Amino acid sequence: MYKLDENILKVKAGGAKTVLVVDDDEAIRLLIRNILEPDYIVFEAVDAAGALTQTIASDFDVILLDYNLGGRDGLDLLIELREDRKVDAVIIFMTSDTSRDLTAQAFRENADDFIGKPINRRLFKYAISEAVKKKETERKLREAAFIAKIEESKNLIIAMASHELHTPLIPLIGLSSALYKRSEEGNLDKDVLSDGLKRIVTAARRLNEIIGDILEVASMKRSDHPLHYEDIAIRAMLEELRLYYKEAAAEKGLNLVITMPEGEHTIFTDGKRLRQVLRLIVDNAIKFTEFGEVEIGYDVGEEDVLFFVRDTGSGILPEFQERLFDAFEKVDMKSGTSPGLGVGLYLCRRIVETMLGGVIEVDSTLGRGSKFTIRLPEIGAR
C-alpha cells in the first residue's frame, strides 16, 4: 500500500494515473491492486473518513467507491465528494446491488461509471480505461472553451479600445494640425485659438480616461491589489466631490445637490477607492442627464453608511439594469450605446463588493431617472 505523502506528487509528475480504492473489504482492495498495477498507482482507504482525508491531501485521477462502507453509505460520500469538495476525479461506483434505482441515483450524483460485483478482471480494467479517456476529453474541451473565451475577451477589448481611442485622437490630430497651419499662415485669431485649444483639452482628457479604464480593468485581475484603510470624513469628501463636478453640471444647466445628515461622520475604508466609485457614478449621472438635477448624499445606519447618487436622467430599462454592472456593457436609452468602454460600473461593483466588502445597487425608472446606492460597513461618528 502506498503511503499518503509527497511521493504522490512525484508519481503524478511522472505521468502515471493515480487510483484511490475506497472499500472496507481487504480482499477486494487486493484484487483491484493486482488488476491495475503497474499501469496505475493504487492508494487505499477503508472508510469514508480515510477517503476524505486522502482527497483533501491529493488530487487523484480515479476514485473507486464501494457502496457499502460499513458506517457510511458510499452514495452519501459520493455526494459530498462532488458537491462539497468539488472533486473532479473519475468516480466509479462499485456494488453488488445493480438495481436500476441505485444505478440511476449514482449517475444523478455525477458518478462517471457503475461497476457491479463480483469484479470481472478484463471488463473492470477496460471500464476504468474508458472512464479516464472520457474524463480527459471533457477536461480538454473545458480548457479549450476557457482559452477560447479568454481569446474572445481579449479581441473584444482590443476592438473596443481601438475604436474608443480613435474617437478622441481624431480631433486631437485634426485640430492640432489646423491650428498649426493657421499659425504658419498668420491668420490665427484669439477666438479660434481658444476654441481649438478647449476642444483639444476635452479630447485629451477623454483619451486619458479611456487609457485609465483599460489600466484599471487590467489591475483588477491581480489578486494582490493593495488597500489602504483610514478614517474618512464623509462630509468633507462629498463637498470635495461637489466642487469637482460643479463646473461640469453648470455647463449642462444641472443643479448639483448635496444631501447629508447633521453632524460629522467618518467611515473606516479605502478613501481612494471610495472616491473613485463615487466619481464614476456621478460622472455617469451628469453625462446621461439633460435637465433637472444630480443629487449626491449619504445616510448613516447603526453599523453601516449608505451613499447614493440620484439623477433625473432618461432612466434605464429593467432588462438593461440586470447587466448594467457587467464589463463592456454600454447602455443609452436613445442610441443603445454610450461613450467609453463600458467598464465604469463594472469597476464600481468590483471595488465595492470585492474590495470594500459592500453592496452596490441601482433603482431606475425609464423617463424619470436613476438612483445608485452603495452600502458600506464600518461607520463611526466623530
Which CATH number fits the domain that encloses residue 59? 3.40.50.2300
Query: What pTM value is reported for the model?
Result: 0.48
Residue 237: enclosing H or E segment and its boundaries?
helix 234-251
Cβ partners under 8 Å of residue 275, min gap 6: 237, 240, 241
Per-residue pLDDT reduced to its tens digit, 316-341: 777 777 777 765 545 544 333 444 44
Residues 281 and 354 placed together within one structural domain of the fold: yes
Cell 464589463: give the residue: 327
Highest mean pLDDT among 4-13, 116-125, 368-377: 368-377
Mean pLDDT of the chain: 77
Distance CA 146, CA 190 (A): 57
Residues 21 and 71 placed together within one structural domain of the fold: yes
Backbone angles phi, psi at 331, to 5 degrees: -125, 125
In the chain, the amino acid numbered 143 is E
Given this model, what pLDDT does residue 149 score?
A: 63
Q: Which domain holds residue 261?
A: 229-381
Given this model, what pLDDT does residue 237 score?
A: 93
Backbone angles phi, psi at 373, to 5 degrees: -120, 140
- What's the rounded mean pLDDT across residues 33-59? 84
On the question of pLDDT at 156 being above 60, the answer is no
The answer to whether residue 233 sits within a structural domain is: yes
Distance CA 1, CA 125 (A): 19
On the question of pLDDT at 91 being above 70, the answer is yes
Q: Which one of 119, 137, 164 terminates a domain?
A: 119
Q: Which one of 220, 245, 279 terminates a domain?
A: 220
Residues 195 and 312 placed together within one structural domain of the fold: no
Residues 248 and 335 placed together within one structural domain of the fold: yes
Residues 300 and 349 placed together within one structural domain of the fold: yes
SS3 7: helix
Grid coordinates belonging to 260: 447629508
Q: Which one of 179, 203, 220 terminates a domain?
A: 220
The answer to whether residue 250 sits within a structural domain is: yes
Cβ partners under 8 Å of residue 42, min gap 6: 2, 18, 19, 21, 32, 33, 36
Distance CA 128, CA 133 (A): 9
Residues 107 and 234 placed together within one structural domain of the fold: no
Residues 95 and 14 placed together within one structural domain of the fold: yes
On the question of pLDDT at 297 being above 70, the answer is yes
Percentage of the chain modeled with pLDDT above 90: 14
What is the number of domains present in the chain?
3
The answer to whether residue 139 sits within a structural domain is: no
Cell 433625473: give the residue: 312
Distance CA 89, CA 23 (A): 17
Residues 40 and 114 placed together within one structural domain of the fold: yes
User: Using 50, 70 and 90 to split pLDDT, how confident is the model at 67?
Assistant: confident
Highest mean pLDDT among 8-12, 149-153, 269-273: 269-273
CA angle 173, 175, 180 (to 5 degrees): 95
- What's the rounded mean pLDDT across residues 8-36? 76
Residues 232/270, Cβ–Cβ less than 8 Å: no
**More confident call, 39 vs 147:** 39
Grid coordinates belonging to 286: 451628469
Given this model, what pLDDT does residue 292 score?
A: 93
